[in-house]
Every structure is written in structure tokens, then in C-alpha cells.
Amino acid sequence: MYYDEAEKLSRLEIERLQLMRLQRTLRQAAKSPFYGALFRERGVDPEKVTSLADVRRLPFTTKQDLRDSYPDRLLAMPQSEMVRMHVSSGTTGTPTVIYHTKRDLDWWASLMARCMHMVGLRKTDVFQNMSGYGLFTGGLGIHCGAEKLGCLTIPAGAGNSQRQIKLLMDFKVTGIHIIPSYALHLSTVFAGLGIDPRTLPLRIALVGAEPYTEEARRRLEAMYDMKVYNSYGLSEMNGPGVAFECQEQHGMHVWEDAYLAEIVDPQTGEPLPDGELGELVMTSLGREGMPIIRYRTRDLTRFLTGQCPCGRVHRRIDRLQGRCDDMMIVKGVNIFPMQIERILMSMPEVGQDYLIILERDGYIDNIRIKVEIREEYFVEDMRTLAVLQKRIASRLRDEILVTPRVELVEHNSLPKSDGKAARVCDRRGEGA
């Protein structure tokens, strides 16, 4: 059942290990130019951290701190000891760079193998990695974990859908890594080729990199006749493998022997009780080349209460509800894209894609949503489409408290991407 002994730790054993590794991490971080200066400025003495509660007295690290430290002020060891670097997937401004030693990479691969073993993958599986390689952490992180586990690993990379399908079929692939929006798109390619993906030996999909809803997960499971497991990672904490669902599919276990997780109020930074939605803050507890302390992820989630039936006591976080900076304010109402997806993916007439467009009419903000409709529902009878259009708008209004303008578009007509799906287009500043 378990890949390694760390999964069997008791709550007391986890907390003792976390404290020991937090103290060691702080001493290591202080060797970097960034944390050395920050600790001196804030009066932080790693030797005075004697309990896990003391972490709240430590300063946060932000994305801007990482950018300001570009390219190497966060290094806690000589660059000659580094064997790989990754860069964040951001497309504007100074990137954030993460360095790894050989030991860091081995540790990361072991954590990823632990995740994959937990959901049922074994060395007898054929695993196709359909994620981008290169500076993005998702490809290599998952790849090294699959090899560590002993799977036959196919580094397919992103895109080229017909080639992906050929590999899936020819090599009888049983496990895949794929982002949810691309998995939905790939189903339409299968349909165009006249192939039912349910006939493939696929049984497990690792899905992450972008927020998606439970409704989207269940749709994928039905389309492919496979189990879909949610994963969470970020390059600042290595990449994939930070938290992962077990076979219960109810929350993602944070590997607390490797990370210290907090949920804080996004506005005040104060800790929130279990069950309350807030911003996830992460501290690495094992990386030697570039440790990061109290990193504000901007991701919104909550700690789940109660013990998981799987027996692991590593704390669970809920699936991501979006990001602090994803929130849209329309007519004074706070709206998250995930709220809209949840409604759309629950409706059988809706296809695989949608686009949220924010516009301004004079001084009034409006929300327009283009919704792909499945071919069998996209009929010529305008009255039928009008009824469907009205029903979708009504369901959305009940959820987001604002009435959107809904446009029904043909199946597979919205622009597609091999990377993370662009779900929101904000045009409110155009022409101002």
C-alpha cells in the first residue's frame, strides 16, 4: 500500500520531523544572500525557532522577492553544486529561477514516485507524459518520478494530438499525465478519428497545472473510463509532487515530511482555522540548494478536517478554488472562474470549452461568456437554442449573482492551446 516509511508516520512523528527540518532549513537559508540579509534586517535567529508555531514570526517570501533576487541571490550553496535550474511559467517581467542540487533532484523524484504509487501506478505500467518539457517543471518532474517508480516512460511532451493518440494505442499506455483542458480537447480529436477512448487500456490519469472542478473530473473519468487524480505543485516548491490525492479522491495529501503548509487570510496574513478558505503558504523542508521560507503561493484552498480513510495522516488540502489574483469583480460582486466552470461542466449540453470576456459599457462592467455546445445540441431551431441559452444564463446567475450574456458557439470553435487554457479575457481597459 505504501511506497515508503514516511507515509506511515503518526501526527506526532510528522511534527517532530517538521520542526527538526525547519530548523535545519532556516540555518541553510541564512547562507543565501537574500535570506541572510532579510534575517538580519528582521532580527530572525534560526536558533530561536523552537516550535512549529514559531514559523508565524518568520517573514513571508513573495513572487516579487524571487524576481528581485534574480538570478542567484537565493542560492544557499555555490553554483558549482547546482545541476539543474527551472524557470517559472510566467510570460511577463523578470522570471523566477529555481536551482537544484543532485540531492534535491533525487529527493523530488522520490516524492513524485510516492505520489504515483499512492494512486496505483506500478513498475509494470506504461506511462505517457503529455506535459511540456524544458524550463517548465511539470514535464521533467513527473518524468523522473515515473522512472524512479520503474514505469516504462514515454516523454511525449505537449501537443500533436494525433501522435499522442497513436502512442497511447500502439504502446498500450495505462497511465498518463495531462492538463485538464487538453484532456477535454483530446476527447474531441478521438471523436474526429472515430475512436472511443474508453476502449484503450488507460486506467489512471494524473491531472494538474491548472484549476479545474469536480464536474470536469467526473466528465473526464466518464469519457476515458479511467480514474483521474488531482495533483498540486509549484516550481518554487520543486514542481509537481507537493500534494496529491490518494485513491479516496477526497483532498490532496501534502507531504509534510517535505513541506510545511499554512493557510492564511490573503489580506492580513493571519492563520485561518481548518476548513476555512484562504491562501496557501509553503516552506520547503528538505531542499539544500535553494530553500524557500513561507512562500505566498496566491493559491486559494483550505485544510480538510477529519482523517482520511486511506490511513495517511499527512494533512489534506482541498482542490484549488483559484488564485487570489484570479478574482474578478463585476458590478461589485466577487467572482472566480471556477464558479462558472462548475456550472457549465455540470450541464450535458455544454461542450469542452468556454471563454469568459469582461467588458465595459460606459461605466458599467459586464460579463460575456462564450460556451461551446455539443454537436448533437447545436441545432438549427433558434427557439431551442434560445431556451438553452436562457437556462445557462439563469444557472450562472444563481451561482455568481450577476446575469451574464451567454453566447452559444459551435463545438470545437474556440481557440485551443497545448498549455494552460486561457479562460478569461479582460477587455475593460481597451479603448480607455
Q: How far, in Å, CA of 50 to CA of 320, rounded? A: 31
Residue 283 included in any domain: yes
Confidence of residue 320 (pLDDT cuts 50, 70, 90): confident
Q: Is 164 found in the same domain as 205?
A: yes
Q: Is 110 found in the same domain as 86?
A: yes
Question: Look-up: residue for cell 534575517?
Answer: 39
Q: Is 246 found in the same domain as 393?
A: no
What number of residues does the chain have? Answer: 432
Q: Is 308 found in the same domain as 244?
A: yes
* DSSP 3-state of 400: helix
> CB atoms < 10 A from the CB of 387, how many?
11
Q: How far, in Å, CA of 118 to CA of 1, rounded? A: 7
305, 325, 345 - which closes a domain:
325
Q: Is 167 found in the same domain as 230?
A: yes
- Of the chain, the percentage scoring pLDDT greater than 70 comes to 96
Q: Is 112 found in the same domain as 60?
A: yes
Residue 298 included in any domain: yes
Q: Is 318 found in the same domain as 235?
A: yes
CB-count burial class (<10 Å; 0-12, 13-18, 19+) for 301:
buried
Residue 432 included in any domain: no
Mean pLDDT of the chain: 91
308, 325, 342 - which closes a domain:
325
Q: Is 422 found in the same domain as 313?
A: no
Residue 149 included in any domain: yes
For 359-377, the pLDDT digits (tens) are 887 667 789 999 999 888 8
273, 302, 325 - which closes a domain:
325
Q: How far, in Å, CA of 128 to CA of 156, rounded? A: 6
Q: Is 386 found in the same domain as 302?
A: no
Q: Is 392 found in the same domain as 405?
A: yes
pLDDT at 361: 77
Q: Is 363 found in the same domain as 308?
A: no
pLDDT at 432: 43
Q: How far, in Å, CA of 115 to CA of 110, rounded? A: 9
- Do residues 351 and 412 touch, judged by C-beta distance below 8 A? yes
Residue ranges making up the domain that contains 332: 327-426
Residue 417 pLDDT exceeds 70 = no
String of DSSP letters for 156-193: --S--HHHHHHHHHHTT--EEEE-HHHHHHHHHHHHHT
- Do residues 193 and 164 touch, judged by C-beta distance below 8 A? no
Average pLDDT over residues 70-86: 96
User: What distance lies between CA 97 and its chain's CA centroid?
Assistant: 19
Q: Is 338 found in the same domain as 318?
A: no
Q: State the total domains in the chain.
A: 2
Residue 267 included in any domain: yes
User: What distance lies between CA 241 and its chain's CA centroid?
Assistant: 10
Average pLDDT over residues 133-157: 93
Residue 180 included in any domain: yes
Cα angle value 307/180/123 (rounded, 5°): 65
CATH number for the domain harbouring residue 141: 3.40.50.12780
pLDDT at 384: 86
Residue 78 included in any domain: yes
> CB atoms < 10 A from the CB of 83, how many?
13
For 3-51, the pLDDT digits (tens) are 999 999 999 999 999 999 999 999 999 999 999 999 999 999 999 999 9
- Do residues 127 and 173 touch, judged by C-beta distance below 8 A? yes
Mutual orientation of helices 214-224 and 180-192 as an angle, nearest 10°? 30
CATH number for the domain harbouring residue 404: 3.30.300.30
